[in-house]
Amino acid sequence: MEQNTKTLRHGVNWDKALQLRERERSAFAAARPRSRSLSADAAEHLMFGVPLHWMDDWSTPFTLYVAAAQGASIRDVDGFSYTDFCLGDTGAMFGHAPAPVARAIAAQCQRGFTTMLPSPDAPWVAAELSRRFGMDKWQFALSASDANRFAIRWARAITGRDKILVFNGCYHGTVDDVFVDLEGGRPVQRASLLGQVYPLTEHTRVVEFNDLSALQAALAEGDVACVLAEPAMTNIGMVLPEDGYWPAAEALIREAGALLLIDETHTISSGPGGYARENGMAPDIVVLGKPVAGGMPCAVYGFSADTARRAEHAKREAPAGHSGIGTTLSANMLAMAAMRANLAEVMTDDAYRTMFGLAGQLAAGLRESIARHGLPWCVTQVGARTEFQFCPVPPKNGTEADAILDGELEQIVHLYLLNRGLLITPFHNMMLVCPDTRPADIARFIAVFDALLAELKG
């Protein structure tokens, strides 16, 4: 009994888990000579051997190279196929290379890529975004990171305030201002942030999600321009708002004269108008990136009528010159054509109904398997997004979510699934379904997951 207690980790036989890791790494390496060769070639001219250093964060002993991606499937250069539950970490949330988007891109390629002038798609896209999200006016960017940066700048210009407020453990792309965490209740700049030369804590406040008292205290000085938030946290493991949290939080934010900036880039899994619209929230600014153009680089940010009026006034009253907002390729014709096709034909109510049904089946199957093996894990779902976490009940804030992350165990789980043709995100344990995911894919995922838990239990 004493030995068994020492080797348990999140309910898993850790000695068995380590043996499993070595077996799965060997199996992956032996079966993929082409990916191994490309990884060796890439090391000569690519930093960390990959074009983006995040691509080195997967569980594999060397990089997996993709030959093609279509619908819910990926094929690697060694000929193995995978059912994709990662879907580009939301970038391909509606499937890889959806046909309407591919056709629109091909057609637009014959008419030009970018001119720094609007195409006829722009008014249609803006009107459709307003219909879905309930926001009055829109602007465009190339990524949610940029859209969040620009929205923060607008918020500061509108309010004349310099502070922003974020939630501990948040993720809003590579926006400098948000890399502030709570450690022992104190705000600290995240140690992993490279090249930061001024202290972020001078202009960023951070509180725990679901803590209304902390939010009220952080807003009390009246110097916060905006509260930047995902309506449900998704990137430190999912953290859902407690009942009544957002109505009360919105009231506090309005009372303090701050703006509410909602980042729907991941929570767009909740419905065609995002989590905020589905749940009756009334943000001042909404940001959406990644999947809005079917995987083409594009992001949007929308303003309520009053916020748009104040933003336009701030710009007109400012001296002439560069506002620091926007990039030359923003709203290029290629991205706008892709976004119009995606909104009109791919990101539909029917697609969401299909995805919700599949995600529900996946979540139920995961829960049944976890219960059958007696593991102290839980399952959380936000629309088409599902996650299992190494704790018996879902965390309620970023500190709790961070405490149960286990990178070693995650990588063992991910590699086991990958070797059996199932891909999930390399960060924590998130899964997405798309309109092309089939019920048979869900059933196979549950069967493989159940076999994995049996092996981990030993």
- Asked whether 76 and 66 are in contact (CB, 8 A), the reply is yes
User: Taking the CA atoms of the chain, what radius of gyration do you get in angstroms?
Assistant: 23
User: Is the pLDDT assigned to residue 402 strictly greater than 60?
Assistant: yes
Both tokens assigned to 108:
């637009």
DSSP 323-354: -S---TTTT-HHHHHHHHHIIIIIS-HHHHHH
d(CA 354, CA 28): 33
d(CA 113, CA 14): 53
User: Is the pLDDT assigned to residue 7 strictly greater than 90?
Assistant: no
450 phi/psi in degrees, rounded to 5: -65, -40
How much is the pLDDT for 146?
A: 98
For the sheet with 299-303, list strands across it.
137-141, 299-303, 285-288, 259-263, 224-229, 163-167, 204-207
User: Is the pLDDT assigned to residue 2 strictly greater than 80?
Assistant: no
For the segment 213-241, what is each residue's pLDDT rounded down to a tens digit?
999 999 999 999 999 999 999 999 999 99
Mean pLDDT confidence for 153-171: 97
d(CA 333, CA 339): 10
For the segment 272-285, what is each residue's pLDDT rounded down to a tens digit?
999 999 999 999 99
How much is the pLDDT for 6?
A: 52
Q: What share of residues in the chain are helix, strand, coil (percent, to 5)?
A: 45, 15, 35
Compute the C-alpha angle 281/283/287, nearest 5°: 115
Q: Which ranges of 206-322 does DSSP label H, i.e. alpha helix?
A: 212-219, 245-255, 274-278, 305-317
d(CA 93, CA 85): 9
Mean pLDDT confidence for 55-81: 97
Mean pLDDT confidence for 417-424: 98
d(CA 329, CA 290): 16
Give the confidence band of 65 by pLDDT, cuts at 50, 70, 90: very high
For the segment 185-207, what is each residue's pLDDT rounded down to a tens digit?
999 999 999 999 999 999 999 99
| HSE-CB of 202 using CA atoms within 13 angstroms | 3
Both tokens assigned to 202:
């001078």
Both tokens assigned to 231:
């309506």
Mean pLDDT confidence for 26-54: 97
CA-nearest of 181, 402, 160, 144 to 285 is: 144
41-63 burial by CB neighbour count: b if 16+ within 10 A, else e? ebeeebeebbeeeeebebbbbbb
User: Is the pLDDT assigned to residue 3 strictly greater than 60?
Assistant: no
| HSE-CB of 66 using CA atoms within 13 angstroms | 14
Number of H helices, E strands in the chain: 15, 18
Q: Which ranges of 32-97 does DSSP label H, i.e. alpha helix?
A: 33-42
Per cent of the chain over pLDDT 70 is 99
Cα 255 to chain center, whole Å? 30
This prediction has a pTM of 0.96
Mean pLDDT confidence for 336-358: 98
Which residue bears the tokens 């798309």? 434
Helix (H) or strand (E) holding 441: helix 439-457
Average pLDDT of the chain, as a whole number: 96
User: Is the pLDDT assigned to residue 260 strictly greater than 50?
Assistant: yes
Both tokens assigned to 201:
């804590």
Tell me the CATH number for domain 100-346: 3.40.640.10
d(CA 223, CA 147): 22
To the question of domain 8-94+349-456 being in CATH 3.30.870.10, the answer is: no
- Asked whether 179 and 219 are in contact (CB, 8 A), the reply is no
Where are the extended beta strands (E) located within 392-437?
422-423, 430-432
- Asked whether 226 and 204 are in contact (CB, 8 A), the reply is no
Give the confidence band of 333 by pLDDT, cuts at 50, 70, 90: very high
Neighbours of 150 (CB within 10 A): 24
Sorted by where each begins, the domain ranges of the chain are 8-94+349-456, 100-346
Compute the C-alpha angle 95/281/309, nearest 5°: 100
250 phi/psi in degrees, rounded to 5: -60, -40
Both tokens assigned to 243:
């009942």
CA-nearest of 157, 273, 255 to 212 is: 255
Helix (H) or strand (E) holding 389: strand 385-389
- Per DSSP, 3 falls in state H
Residue type, 325: I
